[in-house]
Homo-oligomer: A and B are copies of this chain.
């Protein structure tokens, strides 16, 4: 009597017993193996038995023999940034469609290395990681081959990223077109994160127009609301101030906006503010935030597709290309108000 062997869970063996076939036959039928040549009548019996018993395959067991878990890891420095949350959604969707689970790892309280270690013991088939994680694990990545880095292009790894240079340039051009010449910027210190290209392109575009960005108007701050708020406060406390600032992302811009409104500085008439990413909140604050839209979900989706393709062996050899960004003009930018003394 090989009926459910003491345990409660229904296994392929139970199905086999009920269908009157051997266990491997059940596996053959249910695994959807294309070259599984089983008689139509047996297949029928197996499927019926499986349904009647409510059979659910055990992915752990399958993973053990196939030497893969059909799960991928997503290592993100800070999921409370809505931009990355959208990346996660995009990746999750693609993964789910292909039968992969996603293990989400937030690095605010546990380092990327530790997460990667855990993911390895869980036998994840691959990992998608953001710039901050990517730089903190370095060489380990080379060993673990199936890694896709988002928003940080490099020929040392596979990547999916938006066109950061365009983002910076487009922002600069917008402010210049409005007539601004006194321009500042807020972003994290250059070494960190993948924001360098945005900032560099921004500064270059200004310079190309004969506008320089004095160092006292280039404020360093963490890429968060608090960081933006703090930086803008410092900027306002200075003797001279710009008529516009470009913030490295929308969170910073939201913070900068808050600081201005709190200090009674009118936006945009006294201070124009631009963000980058175009998160949902950009449309919800008042005045609405001018930003550069970055296709977060698409980035996540592509990263997942690229990763899964590699896992399936069909590695697409086309050269990677950055995803286009788009200026979104709203209410926090306008022409500068002429200074009284000018």
Q: Residue-by-residue, is A66-100 near B (CB-CB < 8 Å gives 1, otherwise 0)?
A: 01010100000001101001001100110010000
Question: B121 near A96 (CB under 8 angstroms)?
Answer: no
Number of interface residues of A (CB under 8 A): 48
Of all chain B residues, the one with the shortest Cβ separation from A68 is: B60
Other-chain residue from B103, B104, B225 in contact with A280 (beta carbon distance below 8 A): B225
Bound together, the chains give a CA A255 to CA B281 distance in angstroms of 10
Using A56-B120, A69-B60, A123-B60 as known contacts, say yes or no to A258 and B280 having CB atoms under 8 A apart.
no
Q: How far is the CB of A99 from chain B (nearest CB, A)?
A: 8
A109 contacts across to B, CB distance below 8 A: 93, 96
Bound together, the chains give a CA A59 to CA B121 distance in angstroms of 6
Residue A122 is within 8 A (CB to CB) of chain B in the complex: yes
Question: A280 near B102 (CB under 8 angstroms)?
Answer: no
Bound together, the chains give a CA A96 to CA B67 distance in angstroms of 24
A208 contacts across to B, CB distance below 8 A: none
Q: Residue-by-residue, is A247-281 near B (CB-CB < 8 Å gives 1, otherwise 0)?
A: 00000001101100110000000000000000011
Q: How far is the CB of A277 from chain B (nearest CB, A)?
A: 14
Question: B56 near A121 (CB under 8 angstroms)?
Answer: yes
**From residue 231 to 259 of chain A, which have CB atoms closer than 8 A to chain B?**
254-255, 257-258
A82 contacts across to B, CB distance below 8 A: 80
A315 contacts across to B, CB distance below 8 A: none
Residue A58 is within 8 A (CB to CB) of chain B in the complex: yes
Residue A117 is within 8 A (CB to CB) of chain B in the complex: yes
Q: How far is the CB of A265 from chain B (nearest CB, A)?
A: 12
Of all chain B residues, the one with the shortest Cβ separation from A96 is: B110
Residue A342 is within 8 A (CB to CB) of chain B in the complex: no
Question: A102 near B103 (CB under 8 angstroms)?
Answer: yes
Chain A interfacial positions (CB closer than 8 Å to B) = 7, 9, 56-61, 63-64, 67, 69, 71, 79-80, 82, 85, 88-89, 92-93, 96, 101-104, 106, 108-110, 117-118, 120-123, 225, 254-255, 257-258, 261-262, 280-281, 284-286
Q: Nearest 9 A-B pairs (CB), nearest first? A: A261-B286, A60-B63, A104-B104, A60-B64, A59-B122, A56-B121, A59-B121, A60-B123, A60-B60
